[in-house]
Amino acid sequence: MTALSPLRRIARFGRRQLRLLIAKAPAPIGRRLSRRFWKPRPGAIDFGDFGETAPVSSDFGFDRGGPIDRYFIEGFLTRHASRIRGRVLEIGDNEYTRRFGGNRVAKSDVLHVYAANPVVTIIGDISIPGALPERAFDCIVLTQTLHLIFDMQAALAELARALKPGGTLLVTVPGISPIDRGPWGFTWFWSLTEIALRRLLASVFEEKDIEVETFGNVFAAVCFLQGLAASEVPHAKLDVLDRSFPVIVAAAARRRLE
């Protein structure tokens, strides 16, 4: 091992002393510094508005202006908007098809397990083989739906079968998330990690045709669990990625050309 030069030893000693000094800084100063250098001492956490056992919002933040998870989902769809084209299938309604597909969409289909509203064109359960027409869609937009299906692998197999060769499945799932307090809470089976979604998709798509992304960090996760709206928090903080705290996991999976 090469011995450090005197100047490097002095510099390293100085850095160590500076870290110790910063670590002992009083809270008003320390809170202005990076968490990398300063952390509140045990027992000195200021919980503020997050100190209650009930969240700020029990409706994901919809009642405050729009959920944080939608910020990530809509950013993902914005980056993949060019794939939303031709004949497009969406679940529940076609809001994202119209918003991100625009005039690239030739036909918009909407799937629901019930004929819930006039825009529904296909009624069925995608975990049942044959629920969808085969090789019919250029794109399928599946946001925040897969986790409501117990047999996710069967559902993905049906979705892959329904894509045209070269067609794309755009899917998002919850990672760190509250569970719906309404009707969907009774079928909220899963939250997924990045590797779990990749492995599920790899059972029906070629590995090289799968692009998986994750979104979130501890700040985003805490704010989302509390039900804050995306408009209430700095987007620059939401955009920082820490894969240990996935709020949303998303993927674009392309059916191979045949």
Helix (H/G/I), strand (E/B), else coil: 68: helix
Distance CA 218, CA 2 (A): 40
| Each residue's pLDDT tens digit, 160-186 | 999 999 999 999 999 999 999 998 899
Instruction: Write out pLDDT tens, residues 24-68.
Output: 656 666 566 666 666 676 777 778 899 999 999 999 999 999 999
Burial readout 75-93 (b: 16 or more C-beta within 10 A, e: otherwise): bbbeebbebbbbbbbbbbe
Alpha helix locations (H) across 88-166? 95-96, 152-162
Q: What is the mean pLDDT of residues 128-147?
A: 97
pLDDT in tens, 85-118: 999 999 999 999 999 999 999 999 999 988 777 8
Calpha distance 70→208 (Å, rounded): 27
